[in-house]
Homo-oligomer: A and B are copies of this chain.
Amino acid sequence: MAVGKTKEKTLSTTLVKNSYGKSVVRLTKVTRSSKPPTWKEITVETELFGDFADCYYDGDNTKIVATDSMRNTIYILGAKHSLDSIEDYGIALAKHFLSEYSHVTEAIIRIVENVWGQIPLSGKHHPTSFVKTQGDDRVAAILVNRKEAKIESGIVNLNVAKITDSEFSGFIRDKYTTLGETSDRIFGTTIDAHWKYKRPAANFNCVYETARKVMLETFADHHSLSAQQTLYAMGDAVLEAVDDIEEISLILPNLHRLTFDLRPFGMENTNEIFVSTSEPYGTIKGTIARKK
């Protein structure tokens, strides 16, 4: 079944897109020279685009960077780089593949960072012991090609809920509608936010901290007429607060808490007892940008 280099010409099909890389490469970096030392835990994925078609057509591997070599590279650059922000490290990693291999046209690096902090200890913090401090993760995706670099950062799995200041009414009522209108519902969601930058260089850590803080505060403070409106308010507030962000996309699942009907049991539910549901859920999406 081995085929010669001429295989492509004789085929009735053609390779219109291709890429490959290494997924779920998990790296822990300790920087012992810092005062105090730092602990960083990230999961990295690489994806390379380039002149790899011969490998698909003929099994010709001469231009293939083994995914095992990509894995090595992740650790090697992890050792050389400060890893101060996942974005800066991801840019270094993407650029490495482009500079090292002339037939690679584009590299995408995706990173998830589990956020840890020092263990609190009698008012202070223990310098060399750490605890995973939050349920939400920080993420980044870096794309670098021969023309440009695009950086996207984000937050995933940030669980929030508000117990008042959330309404939902005035929506379309037709023969498919059974949902009642409400002026006071629970609004619970898991924030998934991704933003793009005005320029490749930014203070990524500061942007992340501010964006997370502003989204939480806006969610808390907003009088919500719909999940859509709160989504917009959050995105708008982030753009107001962080000059370096050009555009932000949010996905908010509407994780419904349904009022449990206590009337069959001779009781009244004064908006306090809810069935928390995990499915189905509404999914609200929106991308907010600065006006040009």
Contact = CB atoms under 8 A, between A and B. Distances in A.
Interface stretch (A84-92, A139-147, A175-183, A201-209): A175-183
A175 B267 CA distance: 12
Contact of A172 (B45, B63, B128, B254): B63
Interface string A31-69: 110000101010001010000100111111111111111
Nearest to A103: B172
B60 A170 contact: yes
Contact of A13 (B227, B231, B236, B254): B236
Interface string A98-124: 001100000000000010100111100
Contact of A27 (B227, B274, B283, B289): B274
A161 B130 contact: yes
Given A1-B223, A171-B66, A290 B13 contact: yes
A45 B150 CA distance: 30
A225 B62 CA distance: 12
Contact of A31 (B129, B247, B272): B272
A16 B292 CA distance: 11
Contacts of A52: 228
A232 B120 CA distance: 21
A13 B260 contact: no
Interface in A179-199: 179, 186, 188
Copies of the chain in the assembly = 4
Nearest to A119: B220
A23 B55 contact: no
Interface in A255-275: 257, 260, 262, 264-267, 269-275
Interface residues of A, number: 145
A278 interface: yes
Interface string A70-97: 0111011011000000000000000000
Contacts of A6: none
Shortest beta-carbon contacts, A-B, top 9: A59-B225, A129-B220, A132-B159, A67-B282, A59-B229, A24-B279, A26-B276, A17-B287, A68-B179
Interface of A: 1-2, 11-32, 37, 39, 41, 45, 47, 52, 55-69, 71-73, 75-76, 78-79, 100-101, 114, 116, 119-122, 126, 128-135, 158-165, 167-172, 174-179, 186, 188, 216-217, 219-229, 231-233, 235-236, 239-240, 247, 249, 253-254, 257, 260, 262, 264-267, 269-291
